[in-house]
A and B are shown apart, each in its own frame.
Chain A
Amino acid sequence: MDIRAHEERLPRRAAASYHNVNDQERKVSLLAGAGSLIFALRRGGLFGLAVGALGGLLGYRGATGHCPVFARLGKSTARPSDQGLFGTAPLHITTGVTIGREPQELYQFWRGFTRLPTFMKFITEVRPSGEQRTHWVAESPLGGKLEWESEVIEDVPNERIAWRATEDSKIAHSGEIRFRSAPAGRGTEVELDLHYEVPGGNLGKAWKGFVKSMTEQAIREDLRRFKRLMETREIPTNAVTSIASRQRGPQ
């Protein structure tokens, strides 16, 4: 199954209950709020204070997508197509590595996902949470913890595994790993496709390029550690003590 076929079904944006203002209105609110605040500061006095308070409310509404007045009234203009102020952007990464082991051995190690944290830098835990389902815990590169549920959508023994974050997950993500014999006994060509919806789609090319290159680099390093673990049964480290090694995590 092609990865692009199932990403259509990915939730476009994290569903947040407090979100009750649509994107268009948020932008207008933000602009109006900023204008009111500037006016208030220049005008001063009691009238200025009143306008300033209104500006603050508008700004809050625009910045967060949550309107306390709407909430009180039980009203919402939010639309399913909302992407937030900064939007989201699809991020595709395809990378690969050649590993001097048989496809079967690599497939076995990858399958079940629970052993992935040994070589994946930002994944701290993967545990089974149901038939074909796993619960993932990651350390966000920006700090904090991310958790989501993932389900296997395709599993061809010794060849490929495809998965995606479930619809109610806070992140939109899917992936596929393929194992194929390399020519002339050179082991296995491992190819990894990953898809994410990353925040900041409206922030321009430079931001998207930055996110892509950072993510790509992290994924390549994960695959390199996978190769090393499979070929040598250990992940190389220059740490001189085991404490230093643990503090650093997978290098």
Chain B
Amino acid sequence: MKAVCWHGKEDVRVDSVPDPEIVNQGDALVKVTATAICGSDLHLYNGYVPGMHSGDVLGHEFMGEVVEVGSSVKNLQRGDRVVVPFALACGNCFFCQRELWSLCDNSNPNAAMAEKLWGHSPSGLFGYSHLLGGYAGGQAEFVRVPYADVGPLKVPEGFSDEQVLFLTDIFPTGYQAAEYCNIQPGDTIAVWGCGPVGQFALASARMLGAERLIAIDDVTERLELAVQQSDAEPLRPSEVGNTLQMVETLRDMTQGRGPDACIDAVGMEAHGMGLEGWYDTVKQSIRMETERPIALRQAIIACRKGGTVSIPGVYGGFGDKIPLGSMMNKALTLKTGQTHIHHYLKPLLERIENGDLDPRFVITHRMHLDEAPDAYRLFCDKREGCIKVVLRPDGRI
């Protein structure tokens, strides 16, 4: 079959790889009808996530049709149309039973690797490094989906692929980030990064009753989309300046209070301004730190006293100059983690059904799976107004 494979920094190719099979009896095989490139795939593309091997199949946002199930699978059968959460969860462990699906104890075959870096291992993820399981991803014609009774959600009649595809990651991820903010009437929420997750965080914060939204990004079309879709107030870091100036600007915009909650939807590859930007770029390039945590620093210092900093952005290792003093003395709450997708599938499908949100608003590009290398380039460079790419193995657009 054809699959999008990682071969190194900024090197993805469409390769011919062996077709997957049922390996464990709880598996299903899914023929992919639609898949997408996630902002977090760009961290792999740019070579910042450890544990990638040449030839790894990428992709963790995918949906399709069940073509085969293992003998112990009860909830699915051939022909079912499903969306598949990007995190693998066994459904039986301590964490799954508490709906902390992305912390599943059992789904990462390489848990020992993750434990060395993080102390404990989160769940395995599709197509997201051997550190997180080494599972072949969904930017392919077929995918082996373990724990098929637990993860995949059957798509009811009447929804198009594009309407439900983002239930696999970015919609729940943005929603969870907003939910973590515990939004109260009158709250102002500031969101760093207006890529797809930032867009869904803004839209979800709006649904959850935020009074004001501030969208922080430097890409014009992303700011425009945030304004148009979520009625956010745009803020350009390049016009504001360094971290101190960003904090002052946000304080001024909120008459001294600061945003009630701040969402870092940027993660490890933030672009800083001036000296701070140089500091992190140099340190990261010589591997003295693994992150450029500029958005996180700003989110912490800007946040109102007693407020919440919610971090859907992906981090991998160790960041410098995290303002712990600000965090402690302002009594902030930090909420973060990979998204517990399984928990949000049904409620958010209902949101889509009710018309609360049409997730298609983020799609800017529809391409054939064969064009994945170009799609990655386009998305990484944010060229041609690229915000979200949907890839189709059958080329149907």
Listed in ascending order, the chain A residues whose CB lies under 8 Å from chain B are 98, 100, 186-187, 217, 220-221, 224, 227-228, 231-242, 245, 251
Is there contact, CB below 8 Å, between A245 and B23? Answer: yes
The answer, yes or no, to whether B103 is at the interface (CB within 8 Å) is no
B287 to chain A: closest CB distance in Å?
Answer: 25
Is there contact, CB below 8 Å, between A186 and B146? Answer: no
Is there contact, CB below 8 Å, between B111 and A100? Answer: no
Q: A residues within 8 A CB of B134? A: 238
Chain B 73-97 interface 0/1 with A at a Cβ cutoff of 8 Å (1 = within): 0000000000000001011111001
The answer, yes or no, to whether B388 is at the interface (CB within 8 Å) is no
Q: B residues within 8 A CB of A100? A: 92-94, 97
A-B interface contact total, Cβ < 8 Å: 76
- Alpha-carbon distance between A242 and B109 when the two chains are bound, in angstroms: 15
Q: B residues within 8 A CB of A240? A: 17-21, 23, 136, 144
- Alpha-carbon distance between A186 and B22 when the two chains are bound, in angstroms: 31
Chain B 120-132 interface 0/1 with A at a Cβ cutoff of 8 Å (1 = within): 0000100000100
Instruction: Say which residue of B19, B23, B97 sits within 8 Å of A239 (CB atoms).
Output: B23
The answer, yes or no, to whether B308 is at the interface (CB within 8 Å) is no
The answer, yes or no, to whether B133 is at the interface (CB within 8 Å) is yes
Q: A residues within 8 A CB of B93? A: 100, 231-232
Please name the 3 residue pairs, one residue from A and one from B, whose CB atoms are nearest each other, closest first. A240-B20, A238-B134, A234-B24
Is there contact, CB below 8 Å, between A232 and B90? Answer: yes
- Alpha-carbon distance between A234 and B93 when the two chains are bound, in angstroms: 13
Q: Given A100-B93, A232-B92, A236-B90, list of 14 further CB < 8 A pairs?
A: A217-B112, A224-B111, A227-B106, A231-B92, A231-B106, A232-B147, A233-B26, A234-B26, A236-B88, A236-B108, A238-B124, A238-B135, A240-B17, A241-B23
The winner among B23, B110, B133 for most chain A CB atoms within 10 A is: B23
Listed in ascending order, the chain B residues whose CB lies under 8 Å from chain A are 17-26, 72, 88, 90-94, 97, 105-112, 124, 130, 133-136, 144, 146-147
Given A241-B23, A242-B23, A245-B23; A233-B72 close (CB under 8 Å): yes
8 residue pairs A–B, Cβ–Cβ below 8 Å: A187-B94, A227-B105, A228-B106, A233-B72, A236-B109, A240-B20, A241-B19, A251-B109
Closest to A240 in B: B20
The winner among A239, A240, A242, A251 for most chain B CB atoms within 10 A is: A240
Q: A residues within 8 A CB of B91? A: 232
Q: B residues within 8 A CB of A236? A: 24, 88, 90, 106-109, 124, 133, 146
A106 to chain B: closest CB distance in Å?
Answer: 14
Closest to A246 in B: B23
Is there contact, CB below 8 Å, between B94 and A232? Answer: no
Is there contact, CB below 8 Å, between A242 and B21? Answer: yes
Is there contact, CB below 8 Å, between A220 and B21? Answer: no
Q: A residues within 8 A CB of B112? A: 217, 220-221, 224
Is there contact, CB below 8 Å, between A186 and B94? Answer: yes
B59 to chain A: closest CB distance in Å?
Answer: 14
Q: A residues within 8 A CB of B107? A: 236
Closest to B107 in A: A236
Is there contact, CB below 8 Å, between B90 and A231? Answer: yes
Q: A residues within 8 A CB of B110? A: 238, 251
- Alpha-carbon distance between A187 and B24 when the two chains are bound, in angstroms: 24
A244 to chain B: closest CB distance in Å?
Answer: 8
Q: A residues within 8 A CB of B90? A: 228, 231-232, 236
- Alpha-carbon distance between A220 and B88 when the two chains are bound, in angstroms: 22
- Alpha-carbon distance between A235 and B146 when the two chains are bound, in angstroms: 11
Q: A residues within 8 A CB of B92? A: 100, 231-232
Is there contact, CB below 8 Å, between A234 and B25? Answer: yes
- Alpha-carbon distance between A242 and B112 when the two chains are bound, in angstroms: 23
Closest to B106 in A: A228
- Alpha-carbon distance between A251 and B130 when the two chains are bound, in angstroms: 12
Q: A residues within 8 A CB of B20? A: 240-241
A225 to chain B: closest CB distance in Å?
Answer: 9
- Alpha-carbon distance between A191 and B15 when the two chains are bound, in angstroms: 46
- Alpha-carbon distance between A186 and B110 when the two chains are bound, in angstroms: 24
Q: B residues within 8 A CB of A220? A: 112
Q: B residues within 8 A CB of A224? A: 111-112
Closest to B88 in A: A236
Q: B residues within 8 A CB of A239? A: 23
- Alpha-carbon distance between A228 and B106 when the two chains are bound, in angstroms: 6
Q: A residues within 8 A CB of B130? A: 238
Closest to B111 in A: A224
Closest to B135 in A: A238
Closest to A243 in B: B21
A17 to chain B: closest CB distance in Å?
Answer: 41
- Alpha-carbon distance between A139 and B18 when the two chains are bound, in angstroms: 30
Q: A residues within 8 A CB of B133? A: 236, 238
- Alpha-carbon distance between A238 and B136 when the two chains are bound, in angstroms: 7
B318 to chain A: closest CB distance in Å?
Answer: 23
A66 to chain B: closest CB distance in Å?
Answer: 42
Closest to B130 in A: A238
Q: B residues within 8 A CB of A242? A: 21-23
Q: A residues within 8 A CB of B19? A: 240-241
Q: A residues within 8 A CB of B94? A: 98, 100, 186-187
- Alpha-carbon distance between A204 and B384 when the two chains are bound, in angstroms: 64
B252 to chain A: closest CB distance in Å?
Answer: 50
B111 to chain A: closest CB distance in Å?
Answer: 7
Q: B residues within 8 A CB of A238? A: 109-110, 124, 130, 133-136
Q: B residues within 8 A CB of A228? A: 90, 105-106
- Alpha-carbon distance between A77 and B130 when the two chains are bound, in angstroms: 55
Closest to B91 in A: A232
- Alpha-carbon distance between A217 and B25 when the two chains are bound, in angstroms: 28
